[in-house]
Chains A and B, each alone.
Chain A
Amino acid sequence: MRKLFAIVLVVFFWINVVPPAAAASDTHLVPCQESAAFQQRLQNAPQNYYFDEPYQAYASNLLCGDDGLPHLQLRFDRALDVAIPFAIFFYFAGFVGWSGRAYLIGSKQASKPEELEIFIDLSLAIRSFVQGLLWPLLAVKEFTSGELTTLKNELSVSPR
């Protein structure tokens, strides 16, 4: 069942079905275009690029609540609204973490590792960034080869 669900999800993402904004029957959300509170905000907003562009996008695509602001629904057929920003965040967080880790591992091979934390070694940093970009692949590789994890008895534990 879980496999089936995963396959359905992948197919759904693959064909990239994004229906226009329409509220489910059990919600108070309405398309922003039809929300009185949203129209009120629209009229009170300053008329310039930084307000016009977002308000146009909200009006044509998103659902608004009683407060007249756009809200996301946690619904399967709107899964991409949540999945894409989460995927971007997850990849970026992984990139930051993996680059830092790669830099620290690389700096341990230098004669003065602590100096490389104060004065950045640019060539090592750039190599670390490149590794960071590939972090999902490297994480799988290190996990399967056992580099990513360690044995429980090798972990240092504070005295109890």
Chain B
Amino acid sequence: MQYFSKYLTSAPIMATIALIVLSVFMIELNHLFPGLQYGTYFH
């Protein structure tokens, strides 16, 4: 278990987790503020 948690903190795994978190964040952002990606939200 100790080695598994250490493996989870290795850079490639952390990078993958960070990428997934960022993707979910961006998808949710688009869900909450539709139109943000069209460059017209502030009109």
Contacts and interface: CB of A to CB of B under 8 A. Distances in A.
B40 A58 contact: yes
A53 B11 contact: no
Contacts, number: 41
Interface residues of B, number: 13
A73 interface: no
Chain A facing B: main interface SS: helix
Interface in B14-43: 14, 34-35, 37-40, 42-43
Contacts of B40: 57-58, 60-62
B14 A120 contact: yes
Given A18-B43, A20-B43, A61-B43, A54 B10 contact: no
Interface of B: 6, 9-11, 14, 34-35, 37-40, 42-43
Interface of A: 18, 20-21, 53-54, 57-58, 60-62, 70, 72, 80-81, 84-85, 117-122, 125
